[in-house]
Structure formats: structure tokens, C-alpha cells
Amino acid sequence: MSGLVIDPKKCTRCGLCIQQCPFNAMAMVEGQVQINAACKMCRMCLRNCPSQAISEQTNASEPQIDKSKWHDILVYVEHSDGRIHPVTLELIGKAQELAQVIGQQVNCLMIGDQIEAAADSLLDYGVANVYLYEDPRLKYFRADNYTEVFEDCIQRNHPTVVLVGATVSGRSLAPRTAARFRTGLTADCTVLEMRENTDLVQIRPAFGGNIMAQILNTNHRPQFATVRYKVMDAAQKQARIGLVVSCSIDSAKLDSKIEWLKIEKKEQEVSISDAEILVAVGRGVKDEKTLALIETLAQRLHAQMACSRPFVESGRYDVKKQIGLSGRTVKPKLILTFGISGTIQFTAGMKGAEKIIAVNTDPQAPIFDLAHVAVVGDAGLIAENMLKEMEGEAVCSAN
Ligand SMILES: Cc1cc2nc3c(=O)[nH]c(=O)nc-3n(C[C@H](O)[C@H](O)[C@H](O)COP(=O)(O)OP(=O)(O)OC[C@H]3O[C@@H](n4cnc5c(N)ncnc54)[C@H](O)[C@@H]3O)c2cc1C
């Protein structure tokens, strides 16, 4: 653990650190600046102290990790009966970029039953080793025995970084496994960068999207990060260089306390994350007549409807349609937004869209900073005009 210390000889008691601390963790006590337990180590005070009176002190008794013993990047393969979730390819793509910086390789971990063909298909993406654990008891995801396998794989291979998709099962598995190694995990990273000393810079929005936090795990390995679907670019196919490595584990570890009673196949839902064209509505779409016009426009465009958070909060749309920090991340070829201001919490979920057309009455709306086409005007009027223009014309395509 490290902490911040104030050198009373250098401190001029200017009070700047107290004013700037976002956590109210600093106070003047009996003429001395003191740091209290609310400190989150954001280091804002350290960076801005005009007399450089604040420094970081690491606990000398904490043993320093030997980073050279941890190498390569391990990607957890999310799949359902061998059908690989596309987030896996996105993680492999990012892992390859990161591995290149440190001259190391990308490996995958795949757990299941009779999934060798699927494991082999990952070699098309330049993966060095796919560690494959197969057993009938691993056919379906179970948090307890999957964690055992994950731990086993990490113990054998010592990856410096582990990437997991921020899916329902990924969000359950990654923290359990990270806890086994007493290491940190950064959830829902939006940017990942690698330093030459193998420290992973994990960047994600924090405090309601008001800051982009850079999180480092400098004295623990492996470094665990989860990444949402559609945030990174998918790996491209390349020459096969790797191997599928069949792995085994003490059979007793595969016994699970979780019993699958029944598996019911749900009708496949089309998620907004997979849509090529999206039409998103926000608080500026006030009445049902305007909404109906915009929905007709979406139908003509073969687009899916999506929305900002107020639309969900007011009960007009289901939460599955919400884009943003607390909603879904989307990366369509085209998105049209109507009556959405473009707060960071919304744009965090859609700024990867290839083409953004925004409609808003306010010419200063922040969404226009991001939009490729800015339309200043009333949502209902613009939708009506677009429909009229399209009358008798061929239906648009995303290209
Ligand atoms: C922790 C946290 C997480 C959050 N997560 C999300 C999230 O995931 N997704 C999300 O969307 N929000 C999220 N929010 C909320 C976010 O901060 C904003 O409140 C929200 O995005 C605003 O939605 P909006 O743009 O629809 O509404 P507003 O910001 O109210 O904007 C409405 C816009 O409509 C325009 N307008 C008004 N009338 C018309 C008209 N007739 N025609 C055209 N334009 C018109 C206005 O000029 C305005 O720009 C989160 C907030 C917090 C604190």
C-alpha cells in the first residue's frame, strides 16, 4: 500500500490542495494540512502543489513483485456450446496490440465440453496457444468450477494481463479469479495501453463519467481487466502460428455445488449492440406523435430504436434500449439521434459509430461536437421531412 505524506517544512499552507481535493480528504487542522481516510489516492494534490510539499510513500515492507516472471496476455474465451461470443475477438485484437509493445504473445483460455473445433478456429486470429479445458462437468458455465480452471490456467502460465469480456458470466468469473491471486481488477475499461515495463494502463470513465480514470496495478500480477462488447476493434484473420493445448486439472476441482436444473432456450433477441443502423431518441422527443414519426423513419431505414437514459427512466422504453455508460455500448455504421443533448454518459456508449447524424433544436448541443452531420431543428419536423424525402425512394442501406 502507498499513501501521501505532506512535508510540513515545504508546505506554505496556501490551502490549494484543500480547495482542489475532489473527496474533501484534506483539511487544515491546527495550522497543518492533514489528509484523512477519505483520500482515494487520485494524486490531484500531489500534481498541483506549488511548493511540491506532497509526495507518495510506498510501504517499504511490501515485497516488490518480480514482473519478469509474468508474461504474455491471456484472453478468456466466452462462448455458448462452442459458439464464440464476438467480444472474444475484440479482446484478442486489443491483446495483440498490447502484446506487440512488450514483444510477447497472446494466448486464450477456453473452457467447456467438446469444443475443440471452436478452440482451433481461434488460431486463425494469430493466437499463440489456446489452453483448452474440456470435461462434461464444464459444459455449461458454473462460477465455482470455472474459477478453479481459470486459476489453474493462470498458475501454470503466469500471464501478465488477463482480459475478460464484461458479459454476464465474465463479470462473475473475473473478480472471483482475480481474488484468488489477491490482485486488482478494473471493470468496463474503455481504453487499454501497455507500458514497456508490462504495466497495463486501464482507462475507464469514473464518477458518473466526469473523469477518465487511469488505473494501474503496479505491484501485483496478473492485471485483470474486463471490457464491454463493441468497445474494441475485432482481430483480423492472419496466418496460423499457434496450437490448441489440451489441459487437465485435478478432477475433484471440477465438482460443482451449482446444479443446472433446466436450460430453456430463449428466443434470440436482436441487441442494439449488434445493429448496423440505430435511431436514438432522447428527452427532446416529448410527445408520442413525434416518437411515432421517428419510429416510422427507423422502420424505413431498417434501423433499430435506441434511447438515452431519461427515456428509460420515464418508462417509455425498456432499459435494453439504453445507450451509454450505464446502458449498452453500440458501434453501428449509422446512428441518428433525435433530441439528445450528448452528455458524456451517453456518448461514452456510441462514439465508435461510423456515422453520426444528430438532430437538436439547440445549435450549442454537445452532441454536435461529435456528429458528422448536425441538423438544427425540431425532431418532429425533421423526421417528417426525412420521411417525405424518402417517399417513393429506395430504402437506405448502412453503406
Ligand atoms: C452515473 C451516471 C450514469 C449515466 N448513464 C447514462 C447512460 O448510460 N445513458 C444516458 O443517456 N444517460 C446517462 N446518464 C444521464 C446523463 O447524465 C444525461 O442526463 C442524459 O444522457 C441526458 O439525456 P438526453 O440527452 O436525452 O436529455 P437532455 O440532456 O435533457 O437533452 C435533451 C436535448 O433535447 C433537445 N431538444 C429539446 N426539444 C427538442 C426538439 N423539439 N427537437 C429536437 N431537440 C430538442 C435539447 O436541446 C437538449 O439538447 C447517466 C448519469 C449518471 C450520473
Cell of 212: 477518465
Cell of 35: 489528509
Nearest CA to ligand 1 atom 7: 324
Nearest CA to ligand 1 atom 18: 343
Query: Which residue bears the cell 454536435?
Result: 368
Residue 322 assigned ligand-binding role:
yes
- Residue-level pLDDT at 42: 87
CATH architecture of the domain 67-254 equals 3-Layer(aba) Sandwich (3.40)
Cα separation, 210 vs 299, in Å, equals: 35
365 lines ligand 1 (CB under 6 A): yes
- 114 close to 140: Cβ distance less than 8 angstroms: no
Q: Identify which of 228, 283, 305, 356 to mutate to test ligand 1's pocket (most ligand atoms within 8 A of the CB).
A: 283
- Rg for the chain (alpha carbons), in Å? 25
- Residue-level pLDDT at 139: 96
360 lines ligand 1 (CB under 6 A): yes
Burial class, 213, CB count within 10 angstroms (exposed 0-12 / middle 13-18 / buried 19+):
middle
122 lines ligand 1 (CB under 6 A): no
Residue 243 assigned ligand-binding role:
no
**What value, to the nearest 5°, has the Cα angle with vertex 354 and ends 170 and 309?**
60
Same fold, 67-254 and 272-390: yes
CATH, domain range 2-58: 3.30.70.20
Cell of 17: 490542495
Q: CA distances (Å), 149 to each of 62, 87, 187, 247, 351, in order?
A: 29, 21, 21, 10, 36
Atom of ligand 1 nearest to the CA of 340: 25
Nearest CA to ligand 1 atom 30: 283
Atom of ligand 1 nearest to the CA of 379: 42
345 lines ligand 1 (CB under 6 A): yes
Listed in sequence order, the residues at least 6 apart from 1 whose beta carbon sits closer than 8 Å to its beta carbon are 58, 59, 62
Atom of ligand 1 nearest to the CA of 365: 49
Residue 308 assigned ligand-binding role:
yes
308 lines ligand 1 (CB under 6 A): yes
Q: Amino acid identity, residue 194? A: M
- Residue-level pLDDT at 302: 95
339 lines ligand 1 (CB under 6 A): yes
327 lines ligand 1 (CB under 6 A): yes
Cell of 93: 485484437
- 244 close to 121: Cβ distance less than 8 angstroms: no
Nearest CA to ligand 1 atom 29: 341
CATH architecture of the domain 272-390 equals 3-Layer(aba) Sandwich (3.40)
- Residue-level pLDDT at 394: 44
343 lines ligand 1 (CB under 6 A): yes
Q: Identify which of 231, 287, 343 to mutate to test ligand 1's pocket (most ligand atoms within 8 A of the CB).
A: 343
Query: Which residue bears the cell 492533514?
Result: 34
The enclosing H or E element of 367 equals: helix 367-370
Tell how far the Cα of 342 is from the centroid of ligand 1, in angstroms. Answer: 6
Helix (H, G, I), strand (E, B) or coil at 215: strand
Residue 325 assigned ligand-binding role:
yes
- Residue-level pLDDT at 267: 82
Q: At what angle do helices 168-180 and 143-157 cross, to 10 degrees?
A: 50
Nearest CA to ligand 1 atom 16: 345
Query: Which residue bears the cell 449492440?
Result: 273
ipTM of the complex: 0.99
- 128 close to 109: Cβ distance less than 8 angstroms: no
Q: Identify which of 211, 212, 281, 325 to mutate to test ligand 1's pocket (most ligand atoms within 8 A of the CB).
A: 325
347 lines ligand 1 (CB under 6 A): no
pLDDT (tens place) for every residue of the chain, 399 residues total: 578 999 999 999 999 999 999 889 999 999 999 999 889 888 889 999 999 999 988 776 777 899 999 999 999 999 999 999 999 999 999 999 999 999 999 999 999 999 999 999 999 999 999 999 999 999 999 999 999 999 999 999 999 999 999 999 999 999 999 999 999 999 999 999 999 999 999 999 887 777 888 999 999 999 999 999 999 999 999 999 999 999 999 999 999 999 999 988 888 778 899 999 999 999 999 999 999 999 999 999 999 999 999 999 999 999 999 999 889 999 999 999 999 999 999 999 999 999 999 999 999 999 999 999 999 999 999 999 999 998 865 444 443
- 163 close to 74: Cβ distance less than 8 angstroms: yes
What b/e string do you get for 83-108 counting C-beta neighbours within 10 Å, with b at 16 or more?
ebbebbbbbbbbbbbbbeebebbbbb
Nearest CA to ligand 1 atom 38: 284
Largest CA distance in the chain: 79
Phi/psi for 152 (5° steps) reads: -60, -45
Listed in sequence order, the residues at least 6 apart from 324 whose beta carbon sits closer than 8 Å to its beta carbon are 308, 309, 345, 346, 347, 348, 349, 350
- 368 close to 359: Cβ distance less than 8 angstroms: no
Domain ranges of the chain: 2-58, 67-254, 272-390
Helix (H, G, I), strand (E, B) or coil at 54: strand
